[in-house]
Structure 1
Amino acid sequence: MKSYGKAKKIALLGLDGADPMFMKKLIAEGKLPNFKKFMESGAVAEDLGMLGALPTITPPNWASLATGAWPNTHGITCFWNHTVGNPLDILDFGWNSELCKAEYIWDAFDRAGKKSIIFNYPTSWPPTNNNAIVVDGTSMFCNLRGYIDYEKFFECTEGDFPVQVIPHEADLSGTDCRVEGEVTELKAEIKNFDGFGYQHPGCVTAEGGSEEEADSAKCDRVIAPIKAAQGWAKETAGAKEIVLILNDGQIRRYGLIVADDGKNHNRLQIFVNKKDEKPIGEVVLNGWSDWIYDSYHYKDENKPVAYKVKLVELDAEGKTMKFYYSFALDLKPQNYFSPLEIGEELYKAVGPMMQPSNFDRHNDIADTIVLETMEEMYHWQVKAQEYLLKNKEWDLFCSHIHGIDMLNHFYLDYTIPATTPNYERYQGLILKMYQITDTYIGEMMKLLDENTTVVIASDHAAIGRDRHIIHPLIGDMWGFNVGVLGELGYTKLKEVKGKVEIDWENTLAVAQRATYIYVNLKGRDPQGIVEPEAYDDLVRKIIDDLYAYRDPQTGKRVISLALNRSDMEYLNMGGPHCGDIFYMMEPEFNRTHGNGLSNMSLNGYSLKCLFMMAGAGVKKGEVMQRRVRIVDVVPTLCHLAGAPMAKEVEGGVIYQSLED
């Protein structure tokens, strides 16, 4: 075909959580001009979508998009992975490239001597070849684990009282796709407090679930006194002071609150020491500081760091003040860049990155900070990618950014008019996130020429549901789900030293991760009690009971589909990293994403993957009638580049989109 080898370069722009159904509406309303321009210059399906892999969760879908293989082939089957034969409560972090058994497109390009830049692409870390520049790929945003101090919100009041620090609880669950710290493997535990486990993949044992936890704040709070300024190198009439306790209490910085006009306090200056002549940073009311460069003590050494501050409230008399302190970034990265020196090179070329805030929900101050930090991260990623694309050799560029999915978890359920009185506020927040993304696409397209084929894609989308329907305790992606299988008598609990645990000696089956049920099988599972000859009958009985189960609140059926190991192969599931039963849930009981089929829709939103393609070798203005699948992207791009096919490709070239 004329299109074979037509593209000199390939670019894949990944937008986590982008919903083609919702975007088609926004494009028609003229709210996404850059997406509209791209769509009209290339090829799309009529609904702008493609069918994704199951479950509709980040790691398995990005792995399928980069390998052209389904989950039962590449082996990444949820946010967390499990390998048959390991204890049922041992899970592996699903973003790990070492779990992937299929060849990535960048490794296929490497076989042909072609070079790649992989920018924060899920499941790409650790790097799989030496001919690629790899920037992170272990979390939502680039170098999310590269901070030394966590974000904080300071609430300051005039008075004489001790500083109170209220730390956030570290989230290792992946509740809203955010995981803190170094994580490769976790043991699932039951956390029996008020409805949901939270620090580890664990078992939900009461009402609620981790989706609800996504609505709670995960930001350190500091309550500090404001006092009259004393002992400063330079006396300032009417100035006041605060002490900033930072870096897990290891250091203090000193804040001087001043009035530019001598009367109305409007500025916060931050000093390392009261005797210093100049501040290391300052910020005025309602504004952001520039980057503040500092040094923190971390792991027995001094580390250069950078952070920003936003002053959100300060009364004229200087008696009350609130300000936000961002994540403090380590400017000497030790990991997540390959080659390692790329990290410092990017910081020198384009400056530090702002991690999007994980601050409070449902108040204007927090929502503004979330969007402003998000917009700055998107702007930084454009600059960083521009630097690499212009200064490094490349034939393939794959990138990923996660803002839409993050805000889907935060706000999407609140956009439904029937259940949220101020729904327009939340619709506005979601719209703003899509518009930030539209600007990002417009800036990226300026960097890519007519000899490049560009694909814009997402891994899944998200649905908004009735907030008043309590999630049945099954289908949560971050560990065990005890509720429904406990009601049905398959999972038993016991208390040991005041802690709730699974009673493995009496447990026949467990619901694990977003869509799987495992029989506790003797001879396979270390805790197994079910005899192999009883396996088939037990699986059939569990499936019968799942279909018969009714939600106690609504009386409706919860499970829409349940398949045994043999039948799930029809959906490209199965193998050593899937359960004995694969199930899907009815739309109204779905979480934001993960429990429904890829073509599901509800309340104007869908779980479909976005697919748009334009550039070298691609028809212009083409609306295809065929259904594109997520595994079709890699073979199409390999074809256009004249590159070797990835070895485990299971999709086909999207010929209908290509020039004859």
Structure 2
Amino acid sequence: MSFVRKCDMSISVPHKPELVIICLDGMRPPVIDRMIDSGRMCAFTSLVNNGCRFKDFRPVFPTITPVCWAAFATGAPPSENNITCANIHVEGDHPAKITPSYLLCDYSAENLWDCASKVGKKSLVMSIPSSTFSYAESPADENLTIVKSVVCETNHVQEFEIRKDNSCDNTICDGTSEWTAALHFNMQSYSGRQLEFYAMVSVGNGYVRFCGDGEGISPSPTAMENGAMETCGNIMKSGDIITLIKRIEDKDYVFRVKLIELSDGSDYAWIKAVLVRDIEDYAYPAGFAREIAYTGLNTRYADERLFSSDIKTATGRNNVLKITRDDLGQIYEIFKTAVEKRGIDIAVLYYQVFDNVNHAAQNIIEGFTTVEEEIRSEICNFVDDICLQVDDFLGRIMDYCGKDTTIVVLSDHGAVGYRSFADIYGILEQAGLLKSYYDNGRRVVDWGKTLAYPISTCHIYVNLKGREPCGIVPPEEYDAVRNRIIRALWQGFYDDESMSTALAFAVTNEEAEFVGLGGKYTGDVVYGLKGEYLSRGIHGSQITTARSSGGGDIRPALFMAGKGIKKGAVVERSVSLCDVVPTLCYLHGYPMPDKAQGAIIYQVLEKRIL
């Protein structure tokens, strides 16, 4: 009798991705490093012990979300990939018209996943801004699984005020007195469809309950649990947020709805609704979109519109924590689904909670905005709680993938608080370069008297005759006007009292190569600011090394671990966002993106690959 058993070669090892990149918008190294060093973040600690951490990881300029993520994905500076700012001026358009870079069709450089596809690798790319296709398009690459990035604008948000006096009827439900009202939804989808329908709500003692409309609206099974929501999933108390799904013409749309205010007598309610996404229009391929249809995952800015105004309240902070927990759970499920059903080799997962919180609370955290110390302390603890949720998410990813998967965690930029506001319109106006007036509180530019105008975070354009539809500056005066702009910036940003300037640089388009700018989507003049000065936000106009005295730092975070990467290493030298993808392509044998200029970070590699 033979005791030798023949191996069953038909048994297959479950497929696992070879590369996972977790993109956490706005994650700040000082916070993450403090949490790691305190021993509170187990997954990040494991990542550091088994891989590399970076001490001087730098963004690109301008330090704004779409520019930074595009530079990461392509390994190329803004001048090469054409994503030069959050909003871009396209030559020939009226100066008042700007194109969001998220929708720019002239995205002119290969991404990591484009190159990996050439060698048969399949990628999942989730919502990373300016690094997927525009919203109206679908990719031709069958190796790509995409969850699109969209921006929540005002036509995707609606508010309702309802009063008992105007209610439809009075009813008794389960022995509880309620009054019923109709919410008239009327907003645009992200693909341009007009969405109009009614949803019925019943208002009881201290709560609002969605009843549906009999035509396909229902509470989402992923609605956040809070009190009575554990059983019915559609009841909101003041400050609560739930998720609803509405079917319109064979398409499903996901909404997040918040009860902003409910009066003491429950005879008045103020409700805000945000369209989170169009289910089948937001992912590719369509079959994958349907598989993950009811996740309730947020789009960029959607939840910021719901919670940022009340970040100083316990209810507001609890809502953010619930949204974050829910969303990270859904991202994990989408990731698992893509790996197991689509055979994904590379996953690029994006989430934005840190950036949302930075915008709402950075000045409070740094002490530049005065609040009660108890509130400031609670907000700092709240940021720590978010870190712990992200750490739990990272742990789940690492446990699922195993030790042979390369794990990269990074952010696009940090944040710096501010003491002073830099009014670029006022500086240009004082120098006689711009003329404006106010109409119902809104600044309106008089184009017939304006020589120069600002666009987005750092670009200033000459109102050039023959180029701009309303241009008034003769071509022979172009250089003279640019010189006037630069002089106005140095004078306008100089503070006589402190004998210092907020301005770090101001250069012409041709001179902007040293910050990775220049070309047709760069202003005629480009400027950058130091820390503690606000022009467009807590990041954007600030240079790539900006700091603030309250502990703010514009630099992003970067961690790497996996096969072929040194264990427990600390990289002290400066590293750029543009260096990450070339390093990963080198490590995994993918072709380099066509316009990549980033360097391979040899300091992280166990050995060079010949």
TM over 0.5: yes
- C-alpha contact (below 8 Å) 2:506/2:527 kept by paired residues: yes
Amino acid at match of 2:586: H
Give the equivalent residue in structure 1 for 2:30.
21
- Which moves more between the two structures, 386-395 or 482-491? 386-395
Q: 3-state SS of the aligned residue for 1:518? A: strand
State the 1:619 CA deviation.
0.6
Q: CA RMSD in A?
A: 3.6
1:372 — aligned with what?
322
Deviation at 1:20, TM superposition (A): 1.5
> What letter matches 1:627 in structure 2?
S
> Which segment drifts farther, 494-503 or 378-387?
494-503
Distance 1:385 1:536, change over 3 A: same
1:459 aligns with 2:459: no
User: Bigger CA drift: 86-95 or 284-293?
Assistant: 284-293
2:19 partner letter = I
* Contact 2:451/2:473 (<8 A) preserved: yes
230 and 110 in structure 1: CA distance in 2 versus 1, 3 angstrom threshold: closer
Which of 333, 336, 355 is the aligned partner of 1:405? 355
Which SS does the other structure have where 2:454 is aligned? strand
User: Which structure has more helix as a fraction of its residues?
Assistant: 2
Of 565, 589, 594, 2:509 maps to 565
Q: Counterpart of 2:452? A: 509
> Structure 1 residues 312 and 472, CA, compared in 2 at 3 Å: closer, same or farther?
closer
Choose which of 11, 14, 23 in structure 1 pairs with 2:20.
11
Cross-structure match for 2:293: 347
Which amino acid counterpart does residue 460 of structure 1 have in structure 2? H
1:658–1:562 CA distance, 2 compared to 1 (3 A): same
Identify if the C-alpha distance between structure 1 residues 374 and 532 changes in structure 2 by more than 3 Å, giving closer, same or farther.
same
Equivalent position of 2:343 in the other structure: 393
TM-score, normalization: structure 2? Answer: 0.80
Q: Which moved more, 1:223-232 or 1:456-465?
A: 223-232
Quote the residue 1:67 is aligned against. 74
Amino acid at match of 2:406: T
Q: Deviations over 1:457-515 (max 9, x none)?
A: 1111111223xx3x2222xxxxxxx2221111101236899986433333221121100
**C-alpha spacing 1:42/1:252, structure 2 compared with 1 (3 Å):** closer
Cα shift at 1:638 = 0.8
Question: Are 2:161 and 2:269, in contact at CA under 8 Å, matched by a contact in 1?
Answer: no
Write the mapping of 1:327-342 to structure 2, written as runs, cut at 5 A: 327=274, 333-342=279-288
Pick which of 374-383 and 568-577 moved more: 374-383
Deviation at 1:13, TM superposition (A): 1.0
Equivalent residue, structure 1, for 2:364:
414
Structure 2 letter corresponding to 1:337: A
Deviations 1:66-122 (A, max 9, x none): 111000111101111123444333321211363311111111112222221111121
2:257/2:274 contact within 8 Å kept: no
Give the SS at the match of 1:631.
Answer: helix
Residue in 2 aligned with 1:435?
388
CA contact (8 A) 1:549 1:558 kept: no
Which residue, 51, 60, 63 being the options, matches 1:42? 51
Structure 1 segments of 4 or more deviating over 4 A? 226-232, 265-270, 278-287, 289-298, 302-315, 317-330, 494-500, 550-556
Equivalent residue pairs, number: 553
Most deviating of 377-386 and 414-423: 414-423
CA contact (8 A) 2:168 2:182 kept: no
Q: Distance in 1 between matches of 2:329 and 2:17?
A: 27
Q: 1:536, CA displacement in angstroms?
A: 2.5
Name the amino acid aligned to 1:78.
C
Opposite residue 459 of structure 1, the aligned amino acid is: D
Partner SS for 1:578: coil
CA distance in 2, matches of 1:558, 1:403: 29
Query: Of the candidates 127, 144, 159, which is equivalent to residue 220 of structure 1?
Result: 159
Q: Per the alignment, do residues 418 and 326 of structure 1 end up closer, same or farther by CA in structure 2, a change over 3 Å counting? A: closer
Per the TM alignment, residue 516 of structure 1 is displaced from its structure 2 partner at its CA by 1.0
The alignment partner of 2:358 has SS state of: helix
Deviation at 1:584, TM superposition (A): 0.9
AA of the residue aligned to 1:13 = I
Alignment partner of 1:652 is 2:599: yes
Q: CA 1:503/1:284 → structure 2, altered by over 3 Å: closer, same or farther?
A: closer
| SS of structure 1 residue aligned to 2:483 | helix
Contact 2:159 2:271 in 1 (8 A): no
CA shift, 1:371, in A, is 2.9
How many angstroms apart in 2 are the aligned matches of 1:121 and 1:587? 26
Q: CA deviation at 1:266?
A: 7.6
* CA 366–295 in structure 1, closer or farther in 2 if over 3 Å, else same: closer
Range with greater deviation from structure 2 (524-533 or 395-404): 524-533
Q: Output the amino acid matched with 1:344.
A: R
Q: Give 2:547's aligned residue.
A: 601
Conservation of the 8 A alpha-carbon contact between 1:8 and 1:641:
no
Match of 2:423 in 1: 473
Distance 2:203 2:474 in 1: 71
